[in-house]
């Protein structure tokens, strides 16, 4: 997910560095107060999504920083007065709406799946859950059953969102996007054949079970990405030595 649009490209790396700081919340607040302009929240969220793109396995940790940040006193940013939490909600929703990801090639670098992860986190932690994000979810639930790689990406993207925060689609807050758990179960079962990757099939089965049990918030999963794309040890020599000593 590359940074684009009207953003301060020289500021985004500073925000990314702040996410990795010893005290990331203080570091991020310092940058926000220093910037003190209407683009700073947008730059912060570009940095957040860029960090998740680079290491989706750290998505929950990065989001926990954002959650702590949104409860801090609002920096003196001109034109904004609704509070940092509302700013994050608004800008993140806008950020996801403007993305036009490539949904053709299935894999851990697929932008649609990475966006689905960010949306799932947004549902789970009440960062953003507007109509634009729910439209993406419904695109997966209504994917054409043609056996294409694109249909697999769309269905798996919907499963990521449902497993992480599917409870939101049951509420009246989502308006016309509201669905029942039974409807979602039926749609997932009818589109399981779109998915061929073994790990993806496991995720679809988990999503079906989640829907069958009512999409209860307490049953949301923290980490779907590691199921879809298990971490690979990049040091086979270490594994070989470990096996020799065991």
Q: pLDDT tens, 8-47? A: 557 899 999 999 999 999 999 989 888 766 678 888 989 9
Residue 243 resides in a domain: no
* CB neighbour list of residue 55: distance below 8 Å, 6 or more residues apart: none
Residue 239 resides in a domain: no
Torsion angle defined by CA atoms of residues 110, 113, 114 and 116, in that order, rounded to the nearest 10 degrees: 160
20, 9: one domain: yes
How many folded domains does the chain comprise? 2
Query: Of 220, 137, 214, which Cα lies nearest the Cα of 181?
Result: 214
The pTM of this model reads 0.86
As a whole number, mean pLDDT of residues 97-103 equals 69
Residue 242 resides in a domain: no
Confirm if 52 and 114 have CB atoms less than 8 A apart: yes
Residue 216 resides in a domain: yes
Per-residue 3-state assignment (H helix, E strand, C coil) for 122-145: HHHHCCCCCHHHHHHHHHHHCCCC
Quote the pLDDT of residue 2: 45
| CB atoms closer than 10 angstroms to residue 134 | 21
pLDDT of 90 > 90? The answer is no
90, 112: one domain: no
Provide the residue range defining the domain that includes 165.
100-232
120, 71: one domain: no
State how far the Cα of 125 lies from the Cα of 167, in Å rounded to an integer.
11
109, 203: one domain: yes
Quote the pLDDT of residue 151: 94
Give per-residue pLDDT as tens, 60-89: 999 999 999 888 877 776 655 567 777 777
Give per-residue pLDDT as tens, 146-189: 889 999 999 999 999 999 999 999 988 888 889 999 999 999 99
Residue entry with tokens 């399981």? 192
78, 158: one domain: no
Residue 130 resides in a domain: yes
94, 107: one domain: no
Rg (CA), the chain: 19
State how far the Cα of 58 lies from the Cα of 83, in Å rounded to an integer.
26
């Amino acid at each position: 997910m590359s940074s684009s649009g009207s953003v301060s490209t020289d500021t985004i790396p500073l925000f990314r560095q702040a996410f990795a700081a010893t005290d990331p919340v203080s570091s991020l607040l310092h940058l926000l107060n220093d910037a003190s302009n209407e683009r700073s929240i947008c730059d912060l969220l570009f940095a957040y999504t860029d960090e998740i793109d680079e290491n989706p396995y750290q998505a929950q940790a990065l989001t926990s920083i954002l959650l702590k940040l949104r409860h801090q006193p609002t920096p003196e940013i001109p034109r904004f007065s609704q509070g940092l939490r509302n700013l994050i909600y608004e800008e993140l929703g806008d950020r996801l709406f403007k993305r036009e990801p490539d949904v053709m090639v299935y894999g851990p670098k697929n932008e649609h799946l990475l966006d689905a992860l960010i949306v799932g986190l947004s549902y789970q932690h009440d960062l953003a859950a507007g109509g634009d994000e729910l439209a993406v979810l419904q695109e997966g639930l209504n994917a054409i059953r043609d056996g294409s790689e694109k249909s697999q990406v769309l269905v798996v993207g919907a499963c990521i969102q449902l497993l992480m925060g599917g409870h939101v689609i049951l509420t009246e807050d989502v308006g016309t996007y509201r669905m029942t758990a039974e409807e979602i179960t039926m749609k997932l079962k009818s589109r399981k054949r779109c998915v061929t990757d073994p790990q993806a099939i496991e995720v679809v089965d988990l999503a079906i079970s989640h829907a069958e049990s009512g999409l209860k918030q307490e049953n949301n999963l923290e980490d779907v990405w590691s199921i879809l794309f298990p971490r690979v040890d990049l040091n086979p020599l270490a594994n070989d030595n470990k096996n020799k000593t065991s």
